[in-house]
Structure 1
Amino acid sequence: MTGLLLIYPSCLLHIIESSRDVLVSVLKDLTDMQQQPDGAFLEAPKVVLMAHNPQSRLFQQWSYKVLEADQMAGDSKRFEEEEESTEILVCCVLSALQKLSEHLEVSKAVPGSVLDESPELIVSQTVLNKLLTRDELQTPQQHLQMYNSPLNIIMNAGQLIRSLATL
């Protein structure tokens, strides 16, 4: 398992790179923790992206970084007034993670020191906070429900489409 945990003043961003079984297990644990009486610290987790067959890992080890409020100076300038679509916000997060990963690959440093030296590589807390309010992103429980639901495939749909096309 590799990944990165970024701890912001108002939220967390946890990137987990592992097998599908481990990812599903983490989502089950999150769901269970939310249902516990003391699970209030996980206010509203959201699943931004689950890729089951990535070409390569972004991070070669698991690490974390606690970010201070002063490290994010200027963080909200671009996103304060603009109302961005969920797709654009997700792309901003993924793009920032890709840039951070590329920088780590070149410098061979740990994420904490790279983020201290290059704060422009920090994923925007403003974007993350906006994503947490979006209904389009699933909660861990919603994701697991969809994951465990059978596919409803209509077996004769292809025949119907072919017969309509020949009319």
Structure 2
Amino acid sequence: MASVVGMEDREDSVIDGQRMSLLDMVEEKNRVNNKKTLLHRFVFVAKLNQNSTEQTEVGEYYDSLFKNLHNNNQNAEGVTGLMLVYPRLCVHVIESSTEMFQEILKDFCSNIEEGTGHIENAKVLVLSHDIPVRLYQQWNFRILDIRAPSGDDYETSESTYKVATDLVIQLLKLGSYLAKQPKLNLKNAMDSLHEKVPELLPQQDIIAYLVETEDSCISKPSDYLNKYYRIPFDVCLESEKSWPMPTRLFPYN
């Protein structure tokens, strides 16, 4: 009987040694897809600082920032995405890892608080976790020298959530369109976005509306950053305020 039990234990140990955990499966999937860590997609809209006179300065700043962040953190995923720069506004799609997002959010907050950066105000529309594939193979920015139509502020009967969702869908369709373009024709396709796919470009009045609105469905960069660095607090249960304290006979009571 002892020999049979010992044989069963050895068989179980062999099976356990060959069995893959969920973490092993996720890491194996990442290796197959050439992913170092989980990928996330981050979409935000922003108002440019009044002191920024050249639109190219905004794109060049973030191009330099992403390169420096990647050089300082070789194990993190590189940044890909697209930044559309309007005369006074911008919309930005970024795909990268959690470590890179934290550094980018820190840069947002410091620039906005100090008032020395290229962005004066920003709102986060969505942060999609563990995206299966990248829509963009590299990071680019394009200047859309389009003047917004003069008139009253943007007004809508739809909720802010619906307006933000439609804009995100619009950007995803734009990314899907660019992903289908041949690599040799990608630059020409991006230079002619306003001519070829004007319906996929967000309207400036909608961007301005989302930047200025104060709605709980969209957040400031500082709100997201606080979720990572907020100090945990102790929770006092109602049962702990009574005396004598109730006796738990079983752990599930």
Structure 1 window deviating more from structure 2 (126-135 vs 29-38): it is 29-38
Matched residue, 1:146: 227
Judging changes above 3 Å, is the alpha-carbon distance between structure 1 residues 89 and 37 closer, same or farther for their aligned structure 2 residues?
Answer: closer
1:55-134 equivalence runs, <5 A: 55-69=132-146, 80-108=154-182, 109-110=186-187, 112-116=190-194, 117-134=196-213
CA contact (8 A) 1:20 1:52 kept: no
The amino acid that maps onto 2:119 is: L
CA distance in 1 between counterparts of 2:192 and 2:234 reads 48
Mark the runs of 5 or more structure 2 residues left unpaired by the alignment.
1-78, 238-253
Determine helix, strand or coil for the equivalent of 1:47. Answer: strand
CA distance in 2 between counterparts of 1:26 and 1:104 reads 24
Does structure 1 residue 51 correspond to structure 2 residue 125?
A: no
The amino acid that maps onto 2:99 is: D
CA contact (8 A) 2:84 2:90 kept: yes
The amino acid that maps onto 1:104 is: L
CA distance in 1 between counterparts of 2:228 and 2:103 reads 12
Matched residue, 1:163: none
The amino acid that maps onto 1:139 is: K
Higher strand share: 2
**Offset of 1:42 from its aligned partner?**
2.1
Matched residue, 1:11: 89
Deviations along 1:85-110, whole A, 9 cap, x unmatched?
12111111111112112211222324
CA contact (8 A) 1:19 1:52 kept: no
CA distance in 2 between counterparts of 1:93 and 1:49 reads 10
Point out the structure with max Rg over C-alpha: 2
* 4+ runs deviating over 3 angstroms: 150-154
CA distance in 2 between counterparts of 1:142 and 1:148 reads 10
CA distance in 2 between counterparts of 1:27 and 1:80 reads 28
CA contact (8 A) 1:104 1:114 kept: no
CA contact (8 A) 1:4 1:16 kept: yes
TM-score, reference length from structure 2: 0.52
Mark the runs of 5 or more structure 1 residues left unpaired by the alignment.
157-167
Aligned pairs, number: 151
Judging changes above 3 Å, is the alpha-carbon distance between structure 1 residues 138 and 118 closer, same or farther for their aligned structure 2 residues?
Answer: same
TM-score, reference length from structure 1: 0.76
Matched residue, 2:7: none
Structure 1 window deviating more from structure 2 (87-96 vs 49-58): it is 49-58
**Offset of 1:83 from its aligned partner?**
3.2
CA distance in 1 between counterparts of 2:105 and 2:211 reads 16
CA contact (8 A) 1:31 1:140 kept: yes
Matched residue, 2:80: 2
Point out which structure has higher relative CO (alpha carbons under 8 A, 6+ apart). 1
Percent identity, aligned pairs only, is 28
